Structure 1
Amino acid sequence: MNGHDGLTYVYAAAPDTRRLRAELVGVRGVSGAPVSLLGLLGESENERVPDGTPRTSGPKDAVAFVISRVAPHEFDERALKRRFEDLEWLEGVARAHNEVVQTIARHHTVLPLRLATVYQNDDRARRALVAQRPALAERIALLRGQSEFGVKLYVSSAAPSEGQRGEAVADSGDTAGLSPGKAYLRRRRAQHSAQESRYLHARQAAERIEALASRFTPHRVRHPAQRGALAGPDENVLNDAYLVPDERADAFRAALTTVTQDIDGVRIEVTGPWAPYSFAMPPPRRPDADGAGRAP
């Protein structure tokens, strides 16, 4: 598939700069295809002016799509309906998509777009870029110099510590002389009491997190708590994302990791910096003919 074959796959929007164009040389994306910038005509720093000389700079708010080519038999609308049932294929595409976004995020502002945003060709993608440019430029300005951090809070599912176990035994009273059934019910009430105590501690920790994080950023997105294998052995009760200025990232992490030091039965996990997926604007409505395929 040469540079003009296939559909146009869009990973993200980013400022259209000569430096970013140069750094994308050699970067590979979905299906191993070369990654490049698709900008608006007349705005690219690499575009030549009428006398044939390169532009020295483009507009400060010049925005481009980060793109590569993908095969129609894998990414047109009909193919995507089938492919999104193939978890192995989907995982490969997601990993490649994320690697491109994270590569840009290490040194540049990037606005990630959702997985499998695909257009029939560059002209269709450029029309979408023209229509969305004001909103994209505004969002990129918000994200400039900031990264996403994940903050998760977990309630331990482990047995109570020695101190907690002693309290539980005291609460349950002496089970000597009780029938097996009554002794069992008393132990269950004690376990329930210990778990309720951990939930209370988790609420206290969540309040601390919110108060501390608000000192660093007003931008938070609350995600649903994770369940099953994603959460691990403990119960995830808080799953937030924060947009943090890069110069305050270390202080943010240090402050939040101390939240649960004096609270039993809960733990905090702070991850990042990440590309700001949680703060990308909602995808636009799909035009009637522009998008060849789009993730559900």
Structure 2
Amino acid sequence: MTALRYVYALCFPLGAPLQEQMKGIGGAPTEELEHHGLVAVVSDVPEEDFAETPLKAHLEDLDWLAATARAHQHVIDVLTGVTTPLPLRLATVFRDDSGVRSMIEDREDDFRHALERLEGRVEWGVKVYMDDRQTDTAEDNITATKATSGRDYLRQRHTRTMAHDELWGKAEEFARRLHTTLSSHAEDARLHTPQSATLSRAAGRNVLNAAYLVARGRSEEFVELVDRTGDDSPGIRVELTGPWAAYSFTGLTEGET
């Protein structure tokens, strides 16, 4: 079975060998491929799965995609614990080590600049959700009395709309205030498109989906800030995730990371 070279991330040379237990896709051991003062963290993957044609088919298989993404993220997470990695996009594959070296040479200045800018920094994710059940409860209270006329119906409908807008308005205003506060305590921030509840499977509607670049040494302070600025309003939930590799702040385009 022919093997291809899968690249997880780039980083500067590590001060110590990678952990022996750090496995990649399919349980394959990861390796360090150093070139021009940069290190590509790689492992072997089977050509029968990662060549162009089978890979396209696999990317339509959600179970295969999820398992591959988990293995990819595991390597990034381990690296984030010991260095500042520049994560590459899922399924970055080359025929052999010379292909990996060519990739490094082609983008060496960009890769080096990104690593220098992100050195010692991690990404924290913050999401704000509004529980849909709060809206449903408010609307149920309004409609408890049956409309007795067309005018009554229109009045109730208008009141339901106003209650809905008020509830979401409170959540959006809280999200704006929180983002302003957290941005002032981070080195950089990114607003991402709110996630669909169908895809994320999270309870409630995603009002804020943001990422913050924070120095490792200030991460504890940042986490405490998120905890302090949480909202007591019914139905508003703040979710903090991280620390992650700085996916949102590489400065490289989507197709290059």
Stretches of 4+ aligned residues off by more than 4 angstroms = 180-185, 283-286
Q: Which of 184, 203, 222 does residue 191 from structure 2 map onto?
A: 222
The verdict on how the C-alpha distance between 1:258 and 1:200 changes in structure 2, with shifts beyond 3 A counting, is: farther
Q: Which of 5, 14, 21 does residue 17 from structure 1 map onto?
A: 14
CA drift of 1:244 comes to 1.0
- The answer for the alignment partner of 1:256 in structure 2 is 226
| Whole-angstrom distance in 2 between the partners of 1:256 and 1:285 | 32
Structure with max Cα Rg: 1
- The answer for the alignment partner of 1:152 in structure 2 is 127
| Whole-angstrom distance in 2 between the partners of 1:156 and 1:125 | 46
Give 1:92-107 correspondences, 5 Å limit.
92-107=67-82
Q: Which moved more, 1:125-134 or 1:185-194?
A: 185-194
Alignment-mate amino acid for residue 210 of structure 2: D
TM-score, length of structure 2 as denominator length: 0.87
| Whole-angstrom distance in 1 between the partners of 2:114 and 2:162 | 47
- The answer for the alignment partner of 2:203 in structure 1 is 233
Q: Which of 236, 242, 246 does residue 266 from structure 1 map onto?
A: 236
Task: Give secondary structure in 1 for the equivalent of 2:90.
Answer: strand
CA drift of 1:284 comes to 8.3
Task: Give secondary structure in 2 for the equivalent of 1:240.
Answer: strand
Task: Give secondary structure in 2 for the equivalent of 1:214.
Answer: helix
Contact 1:15 1:63 in 2 (8 A): yes
| Whole-angstrom distance in 2 between the partners of 1:232 and 1:284 | 25
Task: Give secondary structure in 2 for the equivalent of 1:96.
Answer: helix
Task: Give secondary structure in 2 for the equivalent of 1:68.
Answer: strand
Alignment-mate amino acid for residue 103 of structure 1: V
Alignment-mate amino acid for residue 202 of structure 1: A
CA drift of 1:227 comes to 0.9
| Whole-angstrom distance in 2 between the partners of 1:38 and 1:260 | 44
Give 1:203-222 correspondences, 5 Å limit.
203-222=172-191
Q: Which of 21, 24, 41 does residue 29 from structure 1 map onto?
A: 24
**Runs (5+) with no aligned partner, structure 2:** none
| Whole-angstrom distance in 2 between the partners of 1:273 and 1:285 | 23
- The answer for the alignment partner of 2:42 in structure 1 is 67
Looking at secondary structure, tell me which structure has more helix per residue.
Answer: 2
Are 1:112 and 2:87 matched, yes or no? yes
Q: How many residues get paired?
A: 256
Contact 1:223 1:240 in 2 (8 A): yes
The verdict on how the C-alpha distance between 1:266 and 1:18 changes in structure 2, with shifts beyond 3 A counting, is: closer
Contact 2:126 2:209 in 1 (8 A): yes
| Whole-angstrom distance in 2 between the partners of 1:265 and 1:18 | 47
Contact 2:89 2:255 in 1 (8 A): no
| Whole-angstrom distance in 2 between the partners of 1:283 and 1:126 | 20
Alignment-mate amino acid for residue 267 of structure 1: R
CA drift of 1:131 comes to 2.0
Instruction: Kindly provide the CA deviation profile for residues 222-262 of structure 1, in whole angstroms up to 9, marking residues without a partner as x.
Output: 21111133152311121111111112112212222333424
TM-score, length of structure 1 as denominator length: 0.77
Tell me how large the CA RMSD over aligned residues is. Answer: 2.9
Contact 1:6 1:70 in 2 (8 A): yes
| Whole-angstrom distance in 2 between the partners of 1:231 and 1:26 | 32
The verdict on how the C-alpha distance between 1:237 and 1:86 changes in structure 2, with shifts beyond 3 A counting, is: same
| Whole-angstrom distance in 1 between the partners of 2:183 and 2:245 | 20
| Whole-angstrom distance in 2 between the partners of 1:280 and 1:18 | 23
Task: Give secondary structure in 2 for the equivalent of 1:158.
Answer: helix
Contact 1:11 1:112 in 2 (8 A): yes
CA drift of 1:12 comes to 0.4
- The answer for the alignment partner of 1:85 in structure 2 is 60
CA drift of 1:273 comes to 1.0
The verdict on how the C-alpha distance between 1:231 and 1:218 changes in structure 2, with shifts beyond 3 A counting, is: farther
